Structure 1
């Protein structure tokens, strides 16, 4: 009978997931490398709004569904709360500055950058590796966040490599 390989996580330090362990839990979450997106919406006055997010995932191909998570205490939440549509802009490897711009508070994060309104009227950022324009299908309360389920109505993509985030830093994919 062949030997079974047993793999252990190096320096594993089990911890309970508690309110006092937020920092450690955040470090554990950061072990998962993610793509970087800027999720965009138009507010009730029609102004473009956006935020950097890595809490995005595909859910289903039939129907084409994705989900994003938005903190309900975030200043941008009211724009998402009332929006019937939104877009996910998957950032390309060279768009680190955009990721950082949309991660920080600012009055007009779109000032001086290239973008356009998509088919659903949502902001699409120029040069992104992919755009997913979504019609909001459902929202689910989840702790201090709201999960927004969206049906992809229009999309586009390019061969550009994505921007990746891992352990609190940007990373490049080996090609």
Structure 2
């Protein structure tokens, strides 16, 4: 076990930090939204967490330099789709460039017209309540206006690999 501390190092090793973070298993989400012109946009994110029950708040983060930053900063609503174990292909699809993932994914529209991916473990329709720049990311806090869930095995990301909670990664 490597226990080196950034305080003890003359220069912080970002690659080592990233590798250490990869040891924390997370769920996998696809954040979706609809632009004013009707175009759908989405991205894969594993930085999702609950914040508060009253009011109902959740958070996720996005790299400041991401091409989709203006889209998610400027829209009033988005949906956080928690992927199920059999949806690993969607995580890859929404993290790749060059194709429109919405042509390959079944979805419905939420109450505010946002895309909700079918067969997810859960989804949270959020009002884009606040944003906090921190380091090289922006933390988005969403106020949940509506949510739903289905008891499905979740998709998990650990050590750079996707898998199910009960299936080998």
TM-score (norm 2): 0.91
Choose from 138, 144, 153 the match for 2:145: 153
Q: Is the 8 A contact 2:25 2:158 kept in 1?
A: yes
Q: Distance in 2 between matches of 1:108 and 1:63?
A: 34
Q: Is the 8 A contact 2:88 2:163 kept in 1?
A: no
More divergent stretch after superposition (17-26 vs 80-89)? 17-26
Query: 1:69 and 2:61 equivalent?
Result: yes
Unaligned runs of 5+ in 2: none
Query: In the alignment, what sits opposite 2:158?
Result: 166
Deviant stretches of 4+, over 4 Å: 17-20
More divergent stretch after superposition (114-123 vs 17-26)? 17-26
Choose from 115, 118, 135 the match for 2:127: 135
More divergent stretch after superposition (165-174 vs 13-22)? 13-22
Count of residue pairs brought into register by the alignment: 165
TM-score (norm 1): 0.88
Query: In the alignment, what sits opposite 2:13?
Result: 21
More divergent stretch after superposition (133-142 vs 108-117)? 108-117
Q: Is the 8 A contact 1:43 1:80 kept in 2?
A: no
Let me know the Cα RMSD of the aligned residues.
1.7
